[in-house]
Each structure stands twice: as C-alpha cells, then as structure tokens.
Amino acid sequence: MDKLILYRELIQRLLTARAKLRYGSDPIESQTIFDTTKDHYQLVHVGWKDSSTRIYGCVLHLDIKDGKIWVQHDGTEDA
C-alpha cells in the first residue's frame, strides 16, 4: 500500500475514533474534517453549553507534508 494512502487512512481512523468518545447526551458535537486533496485533517468540538455559551475549538489538527504526518495542534493533553 502506498505510504500516503496508509497515512490518510490512519489519520481518518484516529480522528473518527476520537470523535466517538463523547457521550450521546453531550450537547457538544465532535466533527471530523478531512481534506484529502490538500491533506489537512481536524477534529473540532462545536455546540452550546447551558444554552448561553458557544463552544468551538480545534482539538486535533494533523497535516501530511513532505511524506510525514505533522501534528499542528494537539489539544487532547492538559498543560
């Protein structure tokens, strides 16, 4: 299998699995964004908390550049 195709599949599986970790009753939605043309991949959280606070944030942002996976942002770890 071509390395680029493998990387795309692995990233998409990772982000999809991570998006499913939220509870079904959670008002915040996890969305996956896959740009396979330019090789940009993101997991974002969107929604409303307590009907008054807008939630939007990039949790993970990965790119494939020059045959390598670049982690542009990893918001899964506490600082």
pTM as predicted: 0.88
Q: Domain range spanning residue 61?
A: 3-74
CATH at residue 38: 3.30.310.110
CA distances from 2 to 10, 16, 46, 47, 65 (A): 12, 21, 34, 37, 15
The answer to whether position 68 is within a domain reads yes
Whether residue 79 is contained in a domain is answered as no
Give me the average pLDDT of each 10-residue run along the chain (79 residues): 94 96 86 97 94 93 97 86
Domain contains 42? yes
Q: What is the pLDDT of residue 47?
A: 94
Contact 47, 25 (CB under 8 A): no
Based on the structure, what is the number of domains in the chain? 1
